[in-house]
Amino acid sequence: MGGVVGKSESPETKLEAKMVEAMQHRASKGTTIKSFNSIILKFPKIDHTLRKCKAIFEQFDEDSNGAIDHEELKKCLHKLQVCFTEEEIEDLFKACDMNEDMGIKFNEFVVLLCLVYLLKDNATEFEAKSRMGVPNLEATFETLVDAFVLLDKNKDGYVSKTEMVQAINESGERSSGPIATKRFEEMDWDKNGSVSFKEFLFAFTTWIGIEEVGDNDEHH
Ligand SMILES: [Ca+2]
Ligand SMILES: [Ca+2]
Ligand SMILES: [Ca+2]
């Protein structure tokens, strides 16, 4: 392998390499999403489902300090019956602890769950173990993967600014250039000129306002 495609970043960790590989594999199957607009239309439903992951988060945040630490993550993955090596768990933790405060916050946890979903070979098993009372969770993750596949035109596992502009242009929005650029900049967390699936998910959890979920929003 080793072919350098455009100015894509080279994966920093084995985990990221695996993620790119999983995404490319998934991309080879195509996407059911037709346009950027149809992603936008799915926002409310995705938002609704992801918010329900709060219950899963709380279950794994054993000391209820609002963050999942290393030990809690290990137990979490064990419970989901995900067989990750120590190194992979370490990489996953670092990858999802986006603001590097040594704990996985709720929105970071949603990203983590979706990455685990993508990485798992056996989706059926994932369904059974990790749905955990959240209906449509796999369908929602599938939609997010589909959305990324739509954006990643050259299927190299990353979304470039050109690809983002292209996707939004195709949606026929007026003055879409600046919107595309703004969206892209929001997503490119490490500002290296390309958006990984992790960055995409992270931005997504912010766009849909998942961070603003209060602690006392449970009415049932
Ligand atoms: Ca905790
Ligand atoms: Ca790409
Ligand atoms: Ca980036």
- Domain of 125? 54-134
Q: How far is the CA of 21 from the centre of ligand 1 (A)?
A: 31
Q: How many domains does the chain have?
A: 2
Same domain, 182 and 200: yes
The pLDDT value given to residue 196: 95
Same domain, 144 and 204: yes
The pLDDT value given to residue 9: 53
Give Cα separations from 129 to 64, 119, 125, 135, 136 (angstroms). 22, 15, 6, 13, 14
Same domain, 187 and 130: no
Q: pTM of the predicted model, to two decimals?
A: 0.84
39, part of any domain: yes
The pLDDT value given to residue 111: 95
Low-confidence ranges of the chain (pLDDT < 50): 1-8, 217-220
140, part of any domain: yes
Same domain, 64 and 30: no
Q: How far is the CA of 100 from the centre of ligand 3 (A)?
A: 16
Residues surrounding ion ligand 2 at CB below 5 Å: 152, 154, 156, 158
45, part of any domain: yes
16, part of any domain: no
Largest Cα–Cα distance of the chain, in whole Å? 53
Same domain, 26 and 78: no
Q: Write the pLDDT tens digit of every residue in 18-56.
A: 999 999 999 999 999 988 888 888 988 999 999 989 988
- CATH at residue 66: 1.10.238.10
Same domain, 48 and 154: yes
Domain boundary among 83, 103, 134: 134
6, part of any domain: no
7, part of any domain: no
The count of C-alpha atoms lying within 13 angstroms of the C-alpha of 123, restricted to the half-sphere facing its C-beta, is 11
Domain boundary among 112, 134, 156: 134
How far is Cα 25 from Cα 110, in angstroms, rounded to an integer? 22
The pLDDT value given to residue 124: 52
The pLDDT value given to residue 206: 82
36, part of any domain: yes
Q: How far is the CA of 65 from the centre of ligand 1 (A)?
A: 5
3, part of any domain: no
